[in-house]
Structure 1
Amino acid sequence: MADVLSLRALNRATLARQMLLAREEVSVVEAVERLCGMQAQEPKPPFLGLWTRVAGFEAAQLHTALQERSVVRATMMRGTLHLMSARDYGALRASMQPMLDAGLRMLGSRAEGLELDKVLPAARVLLEERSRTFNELRALLQEEFPEVNDRALGFSVRMCLPLVMVPTDDRWAFPRTSEFTLAGVWLGVPTSDDSSADALVLRYLAAFGPASVADAQEWSGLPKLGEVLERLRPQLRTFEDEKGRELFDLPDAPRPEEDTPAEARFLPEFDNLVLAHADRSRVIAAAHRPSLTTKNLRVRATFLWDGFAAGLWELERKRKVATLRLRPFEKLPKHALNALTAEGERLLGFAEPDAADRQVVLAGD
């Protein structure tokens, strides 16, 4: 009979993998690899996500990793932009392709006349010449394929070719209009063509386990991972959660005691901690989960108290004054507010270093 892991035990195991029990002395590349990527469709969240996990993190460290090409920004899990180490992107990108191919169904009637066997080679030639924005790439492809919808041309290239974004020197590294290039050109080595999901699933468990089949599928966007986990079962440990669901994990992965202390932490928007499981109760109570996402599908920034999402936060800058506003889900004890205020002040120092005045306030005060 499998051992049963309590909700708090799952919480502490996940926080340990996510470097949220204590900031750790690791490089940016190692941190991004341990997290198995960081969602990065917007510029600021990955910087804040690394700050909350890595001891002594400075923005320049991520800038350097991007410029040195040891970290890349590219389409990966769930078809969204992620930061990945160059090693992981090269090794794992092909395992995403079935999900990315399925995403082409979103085009509907706009895909009329789209022939991937002609469009993708043409796009490769254009991208091998030099990096390009998607506006530029669509226009050039439209000249060659005038009968095909320009958005269908661009989307199919984004989904079906291994592309990375060229970093810039902007403060948060990713401008709104960015150039893309072929990963093999940018990194100097081709990406692996191994489409097996075995390595991806093992990396997921290392970063987010113990986890169920449904959890792994929710995080990756890939279907049928039950077959992969069955194949991997002999090299894994299995547990049950309090609801009787089977969970898989690496044998030697950290699983701290459930009473292990968890300090106050601030997570940025779109943080994978709150997106990486089908059952997210190990991080956020079901009653509060609807508060995480806006109507236009933005994933709000959250703060953790005692290891669980205890509220939302937002940062506002007016002239020289930076304000971090806390919106707790429920009333917090004074010692929790004191700890969150102290951590919030440190966050403001990182995110708004040139502010003349910084303050942490409760919403409504």
Structure 2
Amino acid sequence: MTGADVLTTRALGRALLARQHLLTRATVTAADMVRHLGGLQAQAAPQPPYLGLLARLDGFAPEELTGLIEQRRVVRIALQRGTIHLVTADDCLTLRPLVQPVLDQGLRGAYGKRLAGLDLDALAGEARALVEEEPRTFQQLGPQLAASRPGRDPAALAQAARCLLPLVQVPPRGLWGRGGAAAHTTAEHWLGRPLDPAPSLDGLALRYLAAFGPATVADLQKWCGLTRLGPVLKRLAPGLVTFRDEHGRLLYDLPDAPRPDPSVPAPVRLVAPFDNLVLSHADRSRVLPEEYRLRLMTQNGLVPGILLVDGLVAGDWQLVEGGRGEARAVVIHPYAALRRADRQAAETEAERVLAFAGGGGAVRFGEPV
């Protein structure tokens, strides 16, 4: 193997930023960006998908994504890693069957004992009828399912329905400036189309590489939550290129995907909370320095907004909506002292967030700790 076959951590970081449109913002539609990214993390409503697109798109306004949600062109549904993602309607119907094993495993781990001996097919049929009659929250659905199943835990029954059925969250849930309780119906009912009867794991892997590569098998598995995907990438290998990282691990990639020179400058960016930029690799060091991993990714599973400096996590941030008598603010917490130019760039990005959120407000910096 020659030195040219090895991609440094910095080179991997620049490739990821290029594919995530965090080196240069794109001018494509919001729908096209959602599709390219394979969806955006949306478990915290409503900010993350909107802020994720804002970081990547020029000229993006909240009304564009709100319209896509209301027009049923994008939906919120449990997908990769069993977490809520905002995806295009087409991806919803294709990806949801592929990640069924992830949801099955999560249900067994959290509620298996409470569901033992239950007729899951009958439960799914009853739940489908209820949510297709009208969208329902889990707080409504669970007791309704428990009414004919005395002694069963309503929360476990609702979560079983979430696993067994492709449940989408309907608006106003997830709408910027509005929001609402997470009420669900089936994807088939909401979109008027069936799930993809023959979804492709090959297609899933290629989509991942386009947005997150170069990557190892472990990286792909971390992103989607599935296991045993090595044979998929091996099958695709004749049409791919391969490299090694600095630890000797095998990386797969698309031949024509961008792999910028590691010296390419990376602008300061404010990336959304829970962004897949930092959640989609087994080895996150391409963007997340090890010394900051525990600060950014807390034990309770919360991931704040991310301050990127020179392509690496350098702090976190939060958009704080002002309460009574208080102004809206973007609060930035750098993990180390920032150079003047980087601080100014972060302030400019924060002002862009404030303008997106409706104008006005303040930018505040916390002291490095």
TM-score of the alignment, normalized to the shorter chain, above 0.5: yes
Q: Which one-letter code corresponds to 1:277 in the other structure?
A: H
Pairing of 1:1-365 with structure 2 (within 5 A): 1=1, 3-42=5-44, 43-105=46-108, 106-168=110-172, 172=176, 175-194=179-198, 196-316=200-320, 317=322, 319-351=325-357, 353-355=358-360, 357-363=361-367
Write the distance in 1 (CA, Å) between the matches of 2:363 and 2:338: 19
Write the distance in 2 (CA, Å) between the matches of 1:52 and 1:273: 12
What is the RMSD computed on CA atoms of the aligned residues?
Answer: 1.9
Tell me if structure 2 keeps the 8 A contact 1:40–1:81.
yes
1:55-85 CA-to-partner distances (Å, cap 9, x unmatched) read: 1100000000001111100000000000001
TM-score (norm 2): 0.93
- The alignment partner of 1:343 has SS state of helix
Write the distance in 2 (CA, Å) between the matches of 1:235 and 1:25: 29
Write the distance in 2 (CA, Å) between the matches of 1:41 and 1:112: 28
Tell me if structure 1 keeps the 8 A contact 2:333–2:365.
no
- Give ranges in structure 1 of 5+ residues lacking alignment: none
- The alignment partner of 1:302 has SS state of strand
Q: How far did 1:99 drift?
A: 1.2
Distance 1:287 1:323, change over 3 A: same
- The alignment partner of 1:84 has SS state of strand
Tell me if structure 1 keeps the 8 A contact 2:202–2:232.
yes
Tell me if structure 1 keeps the 8 A contact 2:34–2:86.
yes
Deviates further, 201-210 or 230-239: 230-239
Q: How many residues align?
A: 363
Deviates further, 313-322 or 209-218: 313-322
TM-score (norm 1): 0.94
Tell me if structure 2 keeps the 8 A contact 1:326–1:363.
no
Q: What percent identity do the matched residue pairs reach?
A: 46
Deviates further, 82-91 or 111-120: 111-120
Tell me if structure 2 keeps the 8 A contact 1:267–1:301.
yes
Tell me if structure 2 keeps the 8 A contact 1:114–1:148.
no
Q: How far did 1:360 drift?
A: 3.4
